Chains A and B, each alone.
Chain A
Amino acid sequence: MNSLIAGVILILCLSSYFFGRSEARKLVTQNIKLKALPAYYGYYLSLWCGLPALIIFGCWSLFEPTIIKVLILNNFPQIESKDLFYEQTLSFFNGNFSGEITNEIKAASIKYSSINIIAQNSKIVIIAAALIGSLTFAYRKIQKNNKARDDVEIILKVLLFTSSLVAILTTVGIIVSLLFESLKFFSTINIFEFIFGTSWSPQRAFVRDASAITPEELLELQDAFGSVPLFAGTAFIALIAMCVAVPIGLFSGIYLAEYASTKVRKYSKPIIEILAGIPTVVYGFFAALTVGPFFRTLGESLGLTVSSESALAAGLIMGVMIIPYISSLSDDVINSVPQSLREGSYAVGATKSETIKKVVIPAALPGIIGSILLAVSRAIGETMIVVMAAGLAANLTINPLESTTTITTQIVMILVGDQEFDSPKTQAAFALGLTLFIATLILNYIALRVVKKYREKYD
């Protein structure tokens, strides 16, 4: 039903474009000088036809379920768990209810069916009215030869503004939800315990309703949510990754930009960039199935105990994954250093490598640092490789051969499977997410400041 309505609106939009255009052309043949090209009148009519109807349609679809729910539940004030009752009614109405059918459910279902019909009909009527109304309005405007061009401009501006508003509001919404859930978490768990605690074992809070926790239990839970091992693990794996990615990425970027011939560059750059396109899951099982066992065998032959899930394997593969970020971006910034600087350096007798080391790299440094920091935030946010290759145990260790875990991995672990939504364990995920978010935010801010401060202007 809904898709039919949407389809009709779209078809009307399309046809009103042609209708508007031909009407405008008619005016032209009557020797009236139009204030815009006929196509603009087409757009104008089409926008006026579609937008009001679509907005009403959207709002209606958004609020209809809630309103119907309220209307129905008002008839059954005696029911206790209203949400469950309503769900049961809906599934009974749709014919896939398998529980015990009570009279209330039957009654509610009948009620639902009648309200639904009224809702559907009134929706169609209102949308049709909106369509006809706005079409007539726009059509009369065309007859009066209005400034369709300017109006189309305004409508488009509003449309673009709305899109950016949606993006901004989504961001704000995500932050707010993170914040509120985290606040709930911090109301049960001490924030200092969370930030400075060194033991992470959220399974101790498993399947516990936050409201049902006794004070004694709460006290016992306090030290189950120490996030230090997670942050340490995250930083450690990111560090290993950067140790791999920075030198390789930077050097290959320098090679591509300064030494490689045009032909080599043309082929090798896309090949390196393919690395960035490989799904992280693929990296993950490569790390878990190939690199991890390889390190273990290697370690055993050297007499070392290497766990098959190690920070080293995960960090190494993550490093390989982020090489293209660094190489490709630093290649670009090195290329954008003006040739005149290189020539100035050659002209006093510097060799190529001296020129690169002392002139090109310093001039490109802000961009290079930027690319590295981008790679760092990529490394911190990476989940899949760590889940598969570094393990899940929250070890506080600096031995790269042991298994360790990261913030993102733990968030995944917490939220996988059935969970009580208000247990401290689940809320811990939000707290972790929030801290991760703040950490990356600070990192980005520092990056921007560093880049700004050390930017060597060369123009």
Chain B
Amino acid sequence: MELNNSKIKIKAKNLNVFYGKKQALFDINLDINQKEVTALIGPSGCGKSTFIRCINRMNDVIDICKVEGSVEIDGAEINEKNVDVVTLREKVGMVFQKPNPFPKSIYDNIAYGPIIHGAAENKNQMDNIVETSLKKAALWDEVKDRLNEPGTSLSGGQQQRLCIARALSVNPEVILMDEPCSALDPIATAKIEELIDDLKKSYTIVIVTHSMAQAVRVSQKTGFFHLGKIIEVDSTEKIFKNPANKMTQDYITGRFG
């Protein structure tokens, strides 16, 4: 089932997640390859978002959420008590469904992470980080003359790229994207997808999406979730051309979900 030529970056083993008494994920086993885009598809409420929130332990913020099982990044377990979530989240960045720039200037939005981690020693270095992050997110040319304007003044697509730049600013290795284009129009979506394609050269990307077309366009590997279980994982080509599971076929052809 695995693509053999790639190195595994993230490995989830027997992962179970509970929200209070309700179980959201059942025995998830999933390998995510390095420097590749892995798309997670499935109907709403199937646990895709819950799964990627396990990779940077974002579920910790939710009181009633309990995670059991193992997630390894580069062979190191992240669900141990002594793992520092700050370092983990520095390594595993996240982009959310709705663009959520801080109510600060564009510059401060990017500088936020580096300041917290003490990444820059002086203003020059910080300027550099901001510029490279915005360039990587393909936003630099559009905002370079108005870095002091509030991040919220940008358009939806620009805001989302700002959030991607913010995630890139702390030099992560993995970027989690939770339906990053669901609030955007097709043109902005195309830009983000182009960007994802570019970013996969240097980052491992996991993207949750409701759009089959998007999964086909951007990902190399696709996992299909249904009711908290993983039904099928394979190369994107295989999943969309010749799925092994009947349910996967029904879902991608739009017969349910």
Chain A residues proximal to chain B, CB less than 8 Å: 261-262, 338, 340-351, 354, 358-359, 362-363, 456-459
Contacts and interface: CB of A to CB of B under 8 A. Distances in A.
Contact of B167 (A261, A348, A354, A359): A348
Contacts of B85: 349
B62 to A, nearest CB: 10
A349 B103 contact: no
A349 B83 CA distance: 13
B117 A363 contact: no
Contacts of B150: 456-457
B112 A345 contact: yes
Contact of B94 (A342, A347, A459): A347
B129 to A, nearest CB: 12
Contacts of A262: 63
Nearest to B64: A262
A346 B61 CA distance: 9
A431 B113 CA distance: 55
A348 B113 contact: yes
A343 B103 contact: no
A349 to B, nearest CB: 4
19 contacts: A261-B63, A262-B63, A340-B96, A343-B61, A343-B94, A344-B163, A345-B112, A347-B89, A348-B113, A348-B116, A349-B90, A349-B116, A349-B117, A358-B116, A359-B112, A363-B103, A456-B104, A458-B103, A459-B152
Nearest to A261: B63
Nearest to A457: B152
Interface of B: 56, 58, 61, 63, 85-90, 93-94, 96, 98, 100-104, 112-113, 116-117, 150, 152, 163, 166-167, 169-170
Nearest to B163: A344
B44 to A, nearest CB: 18
Contacts of A347: 56, 58, 89, 93-94, 96, 167
B152 A354 contact: no
B86 A341 contact: no
Given A347-B58, A458-B103, 8 more contacts: A341-B103, A346-B58, A349-B90, A349-B117, A349-B170, A350-B86, A350-B116, A358-B112
Given A347-B93, A348-B166, A349-B170, A341 B113 contact: no
B118 to A, nearest CB: 11
Contacts of A351: 86
B100 A343 contact: yes
Q: Which 3 A-B pairs have the closest CB atoms?
A: A456-B103, A348-B113, A347-B94
Q: Which of A261, A348, A359, A363 has the most CB of B within 10 A?
A: A348
Contact of B104 (A338, A349, A362): A362
A456 B151 CA distance: 10
A352 to B, nearest CB: 9
A262 B20 CA distance: 14
A241 B169 CA distance: 44
Nearest to B56: A347
Contacts of A346: 58, 61, 89
B169 to A, nearest CB: 7
Given A362-B104, A457-B152, A349 B113 contact: yes
Contacts of B104: 362, 456
Contact of A348 (B61, B90, B101): B90
Q: Which of A342, A345, A362 has the most CB of B within 10 A?
A: A345
B96 A348 contact: no
A59 B63 CA distance: 63
B170 A341 contact: no
Nearest to B110: A348
Contacts of A343: 58, 61, 94, 96, 100
A345 B102 contact: yes
Nearest to B103: A456
Contacts of A342: 61
B116 A341 contact: no
Nearest to A358: B112
Contacts of A341: 100, 102-103
Contacts of A458: 102-103, 152
Contacts of A338: 100
A346 B89 CA distance: 7
Given A261-B63, A350-B116, A344 B166 contact: yes
Contacts of B98: 340
B170 A348 contact: yes
B96 A349 contact: no
Contacts of A261: 63
B196 to A, nearest CB: 17
A457 B56 CA distance: 28
A349 B93 CA distance: 8
A289 to B, nearest CB: 44
A347 B109 CA distance: 13
B112 A349 contact: no
B87 A349 contact: yes
A456 to B, nearest CB: 3
Given A342-B61, A354-B116, A349 B86 contact: yes
Q: Which of B89, B166, B169 has the most CB of A within 10 A?
A: B89
B225 to A, nearest CB: 21
A350 B89 CA distance: 8
A344 B56 CA distance: 12
B85 to A, nearest CB: 8
Given A261-B63, A343-B61, A358-B112, A348 B169 contact: yes
A262 B163 CA distance: 30
A358 B102 CA distance: 9
A344 B116 contact: no
Contact of A344 (B86, B96, B170): B96
Q: Which of A350, A351, A363, A459 has the most CB of B within 10 A?
A: A350
A341 B112 CA distance: 12
Contacts of A340: 96, 98, 100
A453 to B, nearest CB: 13
Contacts of B101: 344
A261 to B, nearest CB: 7
B58 A348 contact: no
A75 B170 CA distance: 96
Contacts of A354: 116
B16 to A, nearest CB: 22
Nearest to B108: A358
